[in-house]
Amino acid sequence: MGKNKLARFTQLATYSHVLQPHKDEVLGGFPMAGKWKSDFFKNNQPLVVELGCGRGEYAVALGQRDPQKNYLGIDIKGARIWEGATHSLQEDMAHVGFLRTRIEWVEHCFAPGEIDEIWITFPDPQIKFQRAKHRMIGPAFLEKYERLLSPGGAIHLKSDSEFLHGYLHGIIEWKGLEVLETYHDIYGQIVDKPDHVVFACKTFYEKMWLKQGKTITYLKFRFLKGGGVK
C-alpha cells in the first residue's frame, strides 16, 4: 500500500461522518439500519443514497445543490471515499456522509422504506454474461432497492453505457415499472435545462468518457405500489 493511500485510510478513520463497519457488523445486525436520519444525520430530512459513489463527487454536488436532504455515498474503496469525505468536511456539510461497505450488502445497512432516492452513477456494465449477476441495476439488486425505498422513491441511473441504459429499459418494461425521465444523450437532448439535476456535476469518469466521445445517458424510474420486480 502506498504512503499516500495509507495516509488517507488513517485520516478517514478519524472522520465522524464516515462509517467503516466490518463484515460481521453489517451482516450481524447493523445498528445504524433504521436510524440514519435520527442518529447519523440527526434530522428528519429525506435520505438520498449514492451507490458505488467512488470519489463521492455526486453525493457532495447534490448536497451543495439541495441542503434540505441527507446524502450518503456508499463504496468499498476507502481511498476514493476520502476525497468526497474530506471535501464535505471542509465545506461543513453535516448533511453529507459516507459508508464504506460492499454494495451487495446494502440491504443489511438500511431498514425497509428508509431510503427516499437512490443514485447510481457510471457503474460497470458487466457486459459478459457470467458477470450479469453483478450488474447494479439487475433484477436481484432491484429487488433489494425496492424493499429499501420509501413509497414513490426514485432511482436515478447516469451512465456512459447505452447497453446498460437499454438493459434497464427492458427490465422496466418487463416488470411494469414507471419511467419518470429518460435520455440517451443528456448533452444533446436537455441542454435547454441547465439546472437539471443530471448536470449537478461531471464526475471523474464522466469527464473521461466525454473526452472519448461517448454519450451520457440518464434514466429515472420508480416502482409502482403493489408492483415491483418480484
Query: pLDDT tier at 2 (50, 70, 90 boundaries)?
Result: low
Residue with cell 464516515: 18
Nine-digit cell string for 92: 461543513
What's the pLDDT tens digit per position in 109-118? 999 999 999 9
Provide, rounded to the nearest whole percent, the portion of the chain with pLDDT above 70: 96
Q: What is the pLDDT of residue 1?
A: 54
8 A C-beta contact, residue 55 and residue 84: yes
Q: What is the mean pLDDT of residues 205-227?
A: 88
Query: pLDDT tier at 128 (50, 70, 90 boundaries)?
Result: confident
What is the C-alpha separation between 227 and 57, in angstroms, rounded?
33
Q: What is the pLDDT of residue 228?
A: 44
Residue 162: count other Cβ atoms within 10 Å of its Cβ.
14
8 A C-beta contact, residue 183 and residue 189: yes
Q: What is the pLDDT of residue 127?
A: 87
Q: Three-state secondary structure along 116-164? A: EEEEEECCCCCCCHHHHHHCCCCHHHHHHHHHHEEEEEEEEEEECCHHH
What's the pLDDT tens digit per position in 156-202? 999 999 999 999 999 999 999 999 999 999 999 998 899 999 999 99
Residues in the chain: 230
What is the C-alpha separation between 136 and 121, in angstroms, rounded?
10
What is the C-alpha separation between 25 and 107, in angstroms, rounded?
13
13-27, 41-55, 124-138, 208-222: segment of lowest average pLDDT: 124-138
Q: What is the mean pLDDT of residues 103-109?
A: 97
Query: Does 150 score more than 50 pLDDT?
Result: yes
For the chain, what is the mean pLDDT?
93
* From 124, 160, 185, 192, the catalytic residue: 124
**Crossing angle between the packed helical segments 78-90 and 57-65, to the nearest 10 degrees:** 20
What's the pLDDT tens digit per position in 15-57? 999 999 999 999 999 999 999 999 999 999 999 999 999 999 9
Full DSSP string of 5-62: HHHHHHHHTT-TTEE---HHHHHTT-TTTT-IIIIII-S---EEEEET-TTTHHHHHH
124 is catalytic: yes
Q: What is the mean pLDDT of residues 226-230?
A: 44
CATH architecture of the domain 44-222 equals 3-Layer(aba) Sandwich (3.40)
